[in-house]
Chain A
Amino acid sequence: MQFCLCHGGLVFFMTPELFLQYLFAGVTYGLIYAIVAIGFNIIYNTTGIINFAQGEFVMLGGMTAISLHHYLPLPLAIAAAVAITMVIGALIEMVFIRWLHNPSILRMIIITIGLSILIREGALHIWGEGVRALPYFNGNEITSIVVLGVGVSPQVFWVLGVCGLMVAALYLFFKFVPLGLVMRACAANRVAATLCGVSTKNMVTFSFVLSAGIGAMAGCVVSPITYSQYDGGTNLAIKGFTVAILGGLGNSMAAVAAGLLLGIIEAFSISVVPLAFQDAIAIGILLIILFIRPHGLFGNRSAAMLKEF
């Protein structure tokens, strides 16, 4: 995973400009991780399962938008890609999850792992191994906006803006919109929700649709920077999972903080360790968290013990 701002190699001292460059890079990646983690959380909250195909939604969004962009203007291509990915999310739930009667959590998780492999192989057939990218939304690779003395690609602001908006919209959705309340109710107590006339199965489908939608949107907006490839979802799923665990499973707002934390740690790590170790850092953090605070940085230990997984 290459980032246009990073210099590579070892840097032993840091100028304020370099510091800001790293910070922007970290926040950009951090927000993408946060969106993937929120996708995990939405599905976890309504079903209790970790959907390991979450990263594939991001990949599908980016790849579909790139293909559609041959025929459609960019905004339409992105909108259509998000819609198509949402439909795929709904289909996955309806075909593979919905009809199972009291499936074990483990069984559902293994189904999602299988699905992620299936989607990846499908993408390989459709798009091949080539690395593609959406064009920059404004300008091109070398356009930059000067902020506090450092040049930042406008696409970074697109990522910040779109991901920030999605997080805010999700917050409002779960807080104020009746459907959001009903989804939270399902997460809190499924039996009580169903007795309030809530079809929990429909809520599960909707959680897949929502997760697929935000994942695909993130996949589109980040594509010019990180590029899209058929197997790009795996890495994002690992990072997003790390962030979800770091924040405390099921807690979407904590995932934002945890995402920014991981993104920034990764970005600054390249000043001390080689770039190749960047992914090892995420895995390292995941292991440490699982050993010492499995309920997450912001989670509640006793509440976590009541959960099934």
Chain B
Amino acid sequence: MSFLAIQHLHKSFGGLHAVNDVSFALAAGEIKALIGPNGAGKTTLLNLLSGNILPDAGEVIFLGKPIQGLKPFQIARRGMARTFQNIKLFPEMTALENVMVGRHMRSRSGVWSGAGNLPWTWKEEAGIRRKSLELMEFMGIAEHAGTEAASLAFGQQRAVEFARALALEPDLLLLDEPAAGLNIYETAELAKLIRKVRDRGITILLVEHDMSLVMDISDSIVVLSFGRRIAEGNPLEIQNNPEVIQIYLGEDDA
């Protein structure tokens, strides 16, 4: 049984086959990258996995159970967290509060008993706060805990979103272009961070345009083009795959 199996997944928008009969699998503990030219269907595929859009056909088996058709919050509760290409934080809340929202569903007493100000929920709240701060320390942004998310720098916002996703204690983390907008130095830091997250036992599926990052950290790579899976393999195989070279560099020598 594989950790995550995507089988014959299909999604079209009008006449456009955004994701066309795509199948691949993830093994537990690996870092897998999803690459392809713009419009290849990478983000659509992530949205299908996290339940933000529903597939027309195909199956997604996560930890042995089909998850296609479930609501995003149900999929999140089964252990799949994600970040976004365009960061989606809760702008008017502090960085710490953002992370705490990710943490709430791991709390023992659950959301509903948290409605009353009962002594054990106060203790629980303190636990959520402590754990969230730990994660922010792990991400290196603890000193910004009390800052409103909207007023943080771009890279820091990305780190908050990352921490919030980790707060769910996911088994699988989907990262949508985490290096977008980062400079070379920040990207190198990100690579270290992604490895550190994997070392915590979290499997990672990464959509990324930065090829140096992808080749550096990925255990295996899936290449999409016009919604179809055209290649899969380790970084070396992908770099030497004639079809991949062709879609990235064009027919003739560039």
Tell me the bound Cα distance from A189 to B89 in angstroms. 7
Segment touching B, from A19-27, A29-37, A103-111, A175-183: A175-183
Decide if A206 is an interface residue (CB 8 Å cutoff): yes
Given contacts A197-B73, A197-B105, contact A182 B93 (CB under 8 A): no
Contact B102 A196 (CB under 8 A): yes
Given contacts A195-B50, A195-B81, A196-B164, contact A182 B104 (CB under 8 A): yes
B 153-184 to A, binary, CB cutoff 8 A, 1 in contact else 0: 00000000000100110000000000000000
Decide if B185 is an interface residue (CB 8 Å cutoff): no
Q: How would you classify the secondary structure of chain B's contact residues: helix, strand, loop or mixed?
A: helix
Decide if B77 is an interface residue (CB 8 Å cutoff): yes
Closest Cβ neighbor of B88 among chain A residues: A192
Decide if B32 is an interface residue (CB 8 Å cutoff): no
Contact A195 B76 (CB under 8 A): yes
Chain A residues whose CB sits within 8 angstroms of the CB of B97 once the complex forms: 181, 184
A249 to chain B, nearest CB (A): 14
Tell me the bound Cα distance from A169 to B116 in angstroms. 11
Interfacial residues of chain B within 164-223, with CB under 8 A of chain A in the complex = 164, 167-168
Interfacial residues of chain A within 156-187, with CB under 8 A of chain B in the complex = 169, 172-173, 176-179, 181-182, 184-185
Closest Cβ neighbor of A169 among chain B residues: B117
Decide if A138 is an interface residue (CB 8 Å cutoff): no
Decide if B56 is an interface residue (CB 8 Å cutoff): no
Interfacial residues of chain B within 121-175, with CB under 8 A of chain A in the complex = 121, 124-125, 128, 164, 167-168
Contact B93 A181 (CB under 8 A): yes
- Which of A172, A173, A181, A192 lies in contact with B100, CB distance below 8 A? A181
Chain A residues whose CB sits within 8 angstroms of the CB of B52 once the complex forms: 191, 195
Contact A177 B115 (CB under 8 A): yes
Size of interface on B: residues with Cβ below 8 Å to A = 36
A202 to chain B, nearest CB (A): 8
B108 to chain A, nearest CB (A): 11
Contact B76 A178 (CB under 8 A): no
Most buried by B among A172, A176, A197: A197
Contact A196 B117 (CB under 8 A): no
Decide if A145 is an interface residue (CB 8 Å cutoff): no
A-B contact pairs, 13 of them (CB 8 A): A177-B117, A179-B111, A184-B90, A185-B90, A188-B91, A188-B93, A191-B72, A192-B90, A195-B52, A196-B73, A196-B104, A197-B76, A199-B73
Residues of B bordering A, CB below 8 Å: 50, 52, 71-73, 76-77, 81-82, 84, 88-93, 97-98, 100-102, 104-105, 107, 111-112, 114-115, 117, 121, 124-125, 128, 164, 167-168
Residues of A bordering B, CB below 8 Å: 169, 172-173, 176-179, 181-182, 184-185, 188-189, 191-200, 202, 206
Interface contacts beyond A169-B117, A179-B112: sample of 7 additional A-B pairs, CB < 8 Å, sorted by A: A178-B107, A182-B111, A193-B101, A194-B76, A195-B50, A197-B76, A197-B104
